[in-house]
Amino acid sequence: MTPTRRTLLAAPLALAACDRFASAEPTPPNVPPLKPISPAPFGTAIKALQIDDPDWVALARANVSQLTPEWEMKMEYILANGLDRPNFDRSDRIAAFAQAEGMALHGHTLIWYSQGKEAFASLSGAAFDRAFDGYIATVAGRYRGKVRSWDVVNEPILDDGSGMRDCHWSARYGHDGYILRAFEQARAADPEAVLFLNEYNQESVPAKGAQFLKLVERLLKVGCPLQGLGLQSHLWIDIQPGVIAAFMREAAQFGLPIHVSELDCTLRTEDRLDFRSQAERLTAQSARVAELARAFAALPRAQQFAFTVWGLRDTDSWYRQGDKDDGKDEPLPFDSFGRPNPMAAALAAGFGGQ
Ligand code: 9MR
């Protein structure tokens, strides 16, 4: 139901008492741990510092069986000191933690349009090629046998879906060429890891979803060792009902494993005249998240690769860092105390087919 403008204007007064930040906070929903009820490994993003936080570790042990480094396996960390001095301290720490805890590890991400520009800036021709291939060989080689899978290429498509992004990689190898080369190098460096193409907004921007599917088709046609599709699933509350499930079904037609790879669902909207209460926003969020979980649970078993949230507690989220933090967003399944949010209940309901 779309609220009228009148109900929107009346909402803040009428529903202020339901706000989670008002004095009478609702009791957190009673939700079982997510790991045993997820149809596939249930994962979270991890930052190395969280290993030192006993509350985070306890929450992770109860709820997840897989980890994705949130930024410490990217070029921004590994190449922070340049190509000649790769840095693996924190990525190694996360890999060791995963192993000690018996959790699977998903590598994220080898080649991304938004990273590596500085480190590669002085290179051209054969030197560029050696560095590109060498980076993938070094990183994927180092974690061979330790990771279950890799996001080989991240976010190659333009936001409006009108085509592929131009970047320092495409400038040398072409739009599909850099993707193909990255997958081939990753395959050579780690023959066992499942290799993913990872992207966002496929469900909510139809042109982008279509562009993603066309790209997958082209890559498979030329023999690219692409083995899995990453649907990041950075959702928001006003995504039209039905489109999340519809895209999941379309993506599934390739028969490849699917990773819901970075789920969060922000309560924020761009509209300054949107006066919906926190409670109304949470209801909308639950509907979107349950739709995603249901659609994933409906996939054939062999295509359910993993279901990953982009952090456990709201305060762990990238939406709650620095300037972006409005103190109110609840994009993740647990609150700042590690208690289940409505989103955790929506996941449980969706996994159970409701
Ligand atoms: O959440 C991540 C944030 O901590 C990092 O600073 C940022 C840049 O590395 O990346 C964020 O994660 C992004 C992910 O790697 C790719 N998809 C979008 C995610 C949110 O921006």
Note the pLDDT tens digit of each residue in 43-72: 999 999 999 999 999 999 999 999 999 999
Counting residues of the chain whose pLDDT is more than 90, the rounded percentage is: 88
The answer, yes or no, to whether residue 20 has pLDDT greater than 60, is no
- Taking residues 212-235, what's their average pLDDT? 98
CA of 291 to the centre of ligand 1 (A): 24
Backbone angles phi, psi at 72, to 5 degrees: -90, 10
The answer, yes or no, to whether residue 19 has pLDDT greater than 70, is no
CA of 77 to the centre of ligand 1 (A): 12
Residue 70 Cβ contacting ligand 1 at under 6 Å: yes
pLDDT of residue 15: 38
Q: From atom 6 of ligand 1, which residue's Cα is the shortest distance away?
A: 71
Residue 264 Cβ contacting ligand 1 at under 6 Å: no
CA of 74 to the centre of ligand 1 (A): 10
Tell me if the bond preceding 109 is cis, omega within 30° of 0.
Answer: yes
Residue 47 Cβ contacting ligand 1 at under 6 Å: no
Residue 71 Cβ contacting ligand 1 at under 6 Å: yes
pLDDT of residue 205: 98
Of the pLDDT bands very low, low, confident and very high (cuts 50, 70, 90), residue 271 is confident
CA 33/CA 73 separation, integer angstroms: 27
Residue 112 Cβ contacting ligand 1 at under 6 Å: no
Q: What are the structural domains, with CATH classification, of the chain?
A: 12-351 (3.20.20.80)
In the chain, DSSP finds a helix count (H) and a strand count (E) of 13, 9
Total-model pTM: 0.93
CA of 70 to the centre of ligand 1 (A): 6
CA 234/CA 352 separation, integer angstroms: 22
Mean pLDDT of the chain: 93
Note the pLDDT tens digit of each residue in 90-148: 999 999 999 999 999 999 999 999 999 999 999 999 999 999 999 999 999 999 999 99
Of the pLDDT bands very low, low, confident and very high (cuts 50, 70, 90), residue 190 is very high
pLDDT of residue 24: 53
CA of 218 to the centre of ligand 1 (A): 27
Q: From atom 19 of ligand 1, which residue's Cα is the shortest distance away?
A: 262
Q: From atom 1 of ligand 1, which residue's Cα is the shortest distance away?
A: 318
Note the pLDDT tens digit of each residue in 134-153: 999 999 999 999 999 999 99
Note the pLDDT tens digit of each residue in 288-305: 999 999 999 999 999 999
Q: From atom 16 of ligand 1, which residue's Cα is the shortest distance away?
A: 154
- Size of the chain in residues: 354
Where does 53-120 show beta strands of DSSP type E?
Answer: 66-69, 104-112
Tell me if the bond preceding 266 is cis, omega within 30° of 0.
Answer: no
CA of 287 to the centre of ligand 1 (A): 25
